[in-house]
């Protein structure tokens, strides 16, 4: 007997047997991307290990790669000890609306 329950992302139902496949993994990936983006939006710099520890997951480099493919301007800088530090560059469109803007 399969028990139906509410899916947290779609609002629909899914069987208990499929809870950790398909849609659930998509929902988890989306929430991880949102968490990483919100952390970067503060202007902070993070290594992959720091992101893994902060958000309790193991694929921060994969999430960063997906965000880059979606068009987010995440850059990395190699530290002297060999690690990479990631940060989100602000969108260039936003600078047009900043105080002072473009001077003619």
The pLDDT value given to residue 59: 86
The pLDDT value given to residue 30: 75
The pLDDT value given to residue 14: 41
pTM for the structure as a whole? 0.61
The sign of the CA dihedral 38, 39, 41, 47 is: negative
pLDDT mean by block of 10 residues, the chain; 104 residues = 49 42 55 88 92 90 92 93 92 53 46
The pLDDT value given to residue 3: 55
What residue spans of 23-71 are helical by DSSP H?
A: 23-40, 48-55, 60-69
Look at domain 4-91 and name its CATH class. Answer: mainly alpha
Residues 6 or more apart whose Cβ sits within 8 Å of residue 14: 4, 5, 7, 23, 24
The pLDDT value given to residue 7: 43
Q: Are 35 and 56 in contact (CB under 8 A)?
A: no
H or E segment and range at residue 5: strand 4-6
The pLDDT value given to residue 63: 92
Q: Are 10 and 23 in contact (CB under 8 A)?
A: yes
Q: Where are the domains of the chain?
A: 4-91
């Amino acid at each position: 007997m399969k028990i139906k329950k509410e899916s947290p992302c779609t609002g629909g139902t899914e069987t208990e047997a499929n809870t950790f496949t398909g849609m659930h993994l998509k929902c988890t990936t989306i929430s991880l991307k949102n968490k990483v983006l919100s952390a970067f939006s503060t202007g902070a710099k993070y290594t992959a290990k720091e992101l893994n520890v902060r958000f309790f997951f193991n694929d921060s480099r994969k999430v960063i790669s997906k965000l880059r493919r979606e068009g987010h301007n995440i850059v990395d800088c190699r530290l002297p000890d060999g690690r990479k530090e990631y940060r989100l560059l602000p969108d260039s469109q936003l600078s047009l609306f900043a105080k002072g803007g473009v001077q003619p």
